[in-house]
A and B are shown apart, each in its own frame.
Chain A
Amino acid sequence: MNDNTMVTIMGFSPLQLMFYFAALLAIVASLKVVTGKNTVHALLYLVVSLLAVAVCFYLMGAPFAAGLEVIVYAGAILVLFVFAIMMFGLSQDETINAPQTQVFTLSNISLWFGPSIIAMLLLAQLVFSIENSAIQEKLTANIIDAKQVGILLYGPYLLAVEIASFLLLAGLIAGYHFAKPEGVSIDKQDEPGRHV
């Protein structure tokens, strides 16, 4: 390691600094997820948190995992959440906190402002780390690319992949079954809203 040629700030390399910054963003966003009152806010913060973690992955030298994190987690799974929230109608607990009529008030801004700020920071960070040659040099040194993962995944871990595929199938069938509308369902519901 040629540490003496590296540019260091307060004893840390730029890569480390980038990582810590992304980690901080992830933590803050996660805190906002669990403390949030509004479901949609929380969901947006969750997206940001996942993106920040993806940056961390990238900086740790796992660009494939970072890509998956963005595509599958922030893309697919979170979209699933959004669909579900839409299906609920969100008539009860969300209307109390969510903005109602004003189109452009401060509270309306806050819905997207926090997450977008953090996302912007993440973007800046990514751009910086891509531009910075020292970071790039460091990253390419210990990168683990998709090819290695693929060889491992379809070699020794083949059985695990099969099991994971079964899990997904089970999730698919169960999700279909549970989410069916009442009229189609075989088992009749008993006294709806008894506990309300």
Chain B
Amino acid sequence: MSAIPLSHILILACTLFTIGFIGVIVRKNTLFILMSLEVMLNAVGVAFIGAGSVWQQADGQVMFILILTLAAAEVALGLALLIQMQRRFNSLDIDLLSKLKG
């Protein structure tokens, strides 16, 4: 039994997640969106670790490690795409990428 109640951990995770989500939908700069995504992934990690520590299971940390690899790959790809975008549009405005408009 952890000293910290699970509900508080989850509240922290949710708050971080929401902040990250707000960042994703509010910011136009793609770099900021990527950073907000990092915050969101991090929040999910918090939820996993908290649950793992409350129930004294190592699975939560395993999940966190997997999230970590995911985040690493995502950032690598995202930044590479960002570099392409900067080259093509001379801008990082995400709204310029609207060729899929119906």
Chain A positions near chain B (C-beta within 8 angstroms): 1, 13, 15-16, 19-20, 23, 26-27, 30-31, 33-34, 36, 39, 42-43, 46, 49-50, 53, 56-57, 59-62, 64-65, 68-69, 72-73, 76-77, 80-81, 83-85, 87-88, 92-93, 138, 142, 144, 148-149, 151-153, 157, 160, 164-165, 167-168, 170-172, 174-179, 182, 189, 192-196
Contacts and interface: CB of A to CB of B under 8 A. Distances in A.
Contact of B77 (A23, A152, A153, A175): A175
A82 to B, nearest CB: 10
Contacts of A192: 87-88, 90
A81 B75 contact: yes
Nearest to B36: A34
A42 B20 CA distance: 13
A13 B3 contact: yes
B91 A15 contact: no
Contacts of B3: 13, 15-16, 138, 142
Contacts of B72: 72, 76-77, 168, 171
Contact of A68 (B22, B64, B82, B84): B64
A177 B80 contact: yes
Interface string B88-102: 111110001000000
Interface of B: 1-4, 8-9, 12, 15-16, 19-20, 22-23, 26-27, 29, 31-32, 34-36, 38-39, 42, 45-46, 49-50, 52-53, 56-62, 64-66, 68-77, 79-84, 86-92, 96
Contact of B53 (A16, A60, A164): A60
Given A34-B26, A92-B91, A153 B79 contact: no
Contacts of A87: 83
Contacts of A50: 38, 42
Main secondary structure, interface of A, reads helix
12 contacts: A49-B39, A50-B42, A53-B42, A53-B45, A60-B53, A73-B42, A149-B62, A151-B58, A160-B62, A171-B73, A175-B76, A196-B89
Contacts of A177: 80
Contacts of B71: 73, 77
Nearest to B97: A195
Given A80-B79, A84-B83, A157-B62, A16 B4 contact: yes
Given A62-B61, A171-B76, A46 B1 contact: no
A153 B80 contact: no
A177 B91 CA distance: 20
A38 to B, nearest CB: 10
Contacts of B50: 60
